[in-house]
Every structure is written in structure tokens, then in C-alpha cells.
């Protein structure tokens, strides 16, 4: 029987379908010290963000049954993909399933910051009626710059355009006819022209931080930065400095350099709308992720 280890949780309907299809599914989290040895007993490993599958763990698993690693989500930066594949272990992810959920969270942060929902919610609980402090802005007619025009960026662009926003985008591969309804810009042009900048790129260990002090300085005075991609894409130190100086009016952050984050100064900042990496945490997205994982596994072993 093909054995599947689920370490970070998974939609129960998908687990039920796998079991009914003849697969053995074990739901159990293991820390790094135990995981590699345990993996020898399983054909498939399914992870989300918490489990890191690095070279040392893969080396420990060699000689066992492991044939497939699946990341339930868009990125695979918590898996040493090239190394796993060099050892004959396939790596897959579910890039389509959570795109809409992440895009809607990015938009939610934009609304929260534009209308002070993030901080008014806190001060009202403290018994304050700070009505005069919270004169916000409307998203309509503002410019949104999207860095990384993949599936998530496209979903956000569609929603932003429906709100009457002008949408700029930049991507490593340059402009594409696929995105003709939006305007391509260089990174520098986008940063200078956008009222809101939303980042949707993976973290590249080779190139490092994408948004640091230099890039933040290029942004419009009073602009907003949204990061629902990967924490290390944006320098938290540089972001805090930009918020404290007044360069930025606010930041919406779902991902952090370290998770769970210990950067209390950042998440408690009055100009920050913060969430604990919940981009894909919608009922619909989790159902789609589960369905996509089932399809991957059935296709792989059939």
C-alpha cells in the first residue's frame, strides 16, 4: 500500500478521498530531527509552510520509500527542490488553487489601510472614538503596481481594475500580450508611479531581498506596500524605517522574515495591517488545494 505523510494539515475531504482510493494517510507533524528518518516509511510527503524539507532531511530519507513531495500552496521555497529531484524524488505544488484567496487578502489589506480599518478596530476596543483621525482614501482612481505578474498578480489586477484602479505590472520576463489590459512598467517606473505596491514574487536566495532601502526610497511619498508573497522579499528593517519616517503611509503584511514572527515593533506599528500568513487560508482555497493534491497523487502513481 502507498503510504502518505501529511505534516502540516490538509482538507479532510481530500484525505477521505485518498483513503477511499486505497492510499494509507498518516497525519502527523515531525520536527527536523525526526522527519528524515520517518520519511523512509512513506512514499509521499505533503507539506504546507511549517515543514522545511532541506538537504539533510532528504539525505536521511534516501534508501527508503520516498518518491514524491507535494507542497500544498504556490511556492516551494521551503523545499530544496533541485536537490530532491537530483536524488530521484519528484516535487510538485498546487499553483492554481490558492491564487484567488491570496489576491483577495492583498486587496483586503489595501482596504484596511486606506480606511484605517486595521487601527480603528483596535482603538474602538480601547473605548476611543477617534473619528477625526481616520479620514482615509478611496482605492478608485489610484494606481496599483504589481511586482510579479503570475497567477496571483493577475487575480489581484482583475479585482483592482474592477474597483476603478489603474494597474501597472512588472515581471522578469518583460511585457506579455496575455496582460494587455494592464500596463507594463519597469521596476523603477512602477515604484515611482504607484499609490499601492503589491509584491507577488518568490524569494530568490541568489538575488536576496527584492524591496529594501533603495527600492522604498523610489516609492511615492505616502504610498502603501503590500506583501503577501514571502517574508524575506521585503526588508523588515528598511520597511520599519520607511514607516517611521513617514515615507510610507502604511504596509499590509501577511508574511515575515521569521515565522512565527518575533518582530513586535513591526506587527504592532499603527501603520501596519498584519496577518499571520493566512493568504491561502480560505475554505474554498483549501478545498481546491486538497482536490489538486489528490489529482497529483493519483496521476503520479497511476
Q: Catalytic residues, which ones?
A: 230, 259, 277
Does residue 211 sit in helix, strand or coil?
strand
Contacts of 57 (CB under 8 A, 6+ apart): 32, 35, 36, 39
- Dihedral of the CA atoms 30, 33, 35, 37 (nearest 10)? -140
In order of 51, 138, 189, 190, 202, the CA distances from 166 in angstroms are 38, 13, 14, 12, 24
Amino acid at each position: 500500500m502507498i503510504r502518505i505523510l501529511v505534516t502540516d494539515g490538509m482538507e479532510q475531504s481530500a484525505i477521505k478521498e485518498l483513503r477511499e482510493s486505497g492510499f494509507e494517510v498518516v497525519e502527523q507533524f515531525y520536527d527536523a530531527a525526526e522527519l528524515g528518518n520517518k520519511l523512509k516509511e512513506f512514499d509521499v510527503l505533503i507539506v504546507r509552510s511549517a515543514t522545511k524539507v532541506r538537504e539533510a532531511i532528504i539525505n536521511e530519507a534516501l534508501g527508503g520509500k520516498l518518491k514524491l513531495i507535494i507542497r500544498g500552496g504556490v511556492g516551494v521555497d521551503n523545499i530544496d527542490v533541485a536537490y530532491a529531484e537530483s536524488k530521484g524524488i519528484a516535487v510538485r505544488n498546487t499553483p492554481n488553487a490558492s491564487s484567488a484567496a491570496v489576491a483577495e487578502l492583498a486587496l483586503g489589506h489595501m482596504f484596511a489601510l486606506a480606511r484605517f480599518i486595521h487601527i480603528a478596530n483596535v482603538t474602538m476596543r480601547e473605548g476611543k472614538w477617534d473619528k477625526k483621525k481616520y479620514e482615509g482614501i478611496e482605492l478608485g482612481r489610484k494606481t496599483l503596481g504589481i511586482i510579479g505578474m503570475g497567477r496571483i498578480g493577475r487575480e489581484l489586477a482583475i479585482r483592482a481594475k474592477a474597483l476603478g484602479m489603474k494597474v501597472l505590472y512588472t515581471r522578469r520576463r518583460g511585457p506579455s500580450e496575455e496582460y494587455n489590459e494592464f500596463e507594463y512598467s519597469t521596476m523603477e517606473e512602477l515604484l515611482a508611479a504607484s499609490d499601492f505596491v503589491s509584491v507577488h514574487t518568490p524569494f530568490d536566495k541568489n538575488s536576496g531581498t527584492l524591496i529594501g532601502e533603495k527600492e522604498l526610497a523610489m516609492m511615492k511619498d505616502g504610498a502603501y506596500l503590500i506583501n503577501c508573497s514571502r517574508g524575506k522579499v521585503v526588508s523588515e528593517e528598511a520597511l520599519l524605517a520607511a514607516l517611521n519616517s513617514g515615507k510610507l503611509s502604511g504596509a499590509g503584511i501577511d508574511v515575515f522574515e521569521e515565522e512565527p514572527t518575533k518582530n513586535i515593533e513591526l506587527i504592532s506599528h499603527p501603520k501596519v495591517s498584519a496577518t499571520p500568513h493566512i493568504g491561502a487560508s480560505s475554505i474554498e482555497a483549501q478545498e481546491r488545494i486538497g482536490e489538486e493534491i489528490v489529482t497529483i497523487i493519483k496521476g503520479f502513481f497511476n
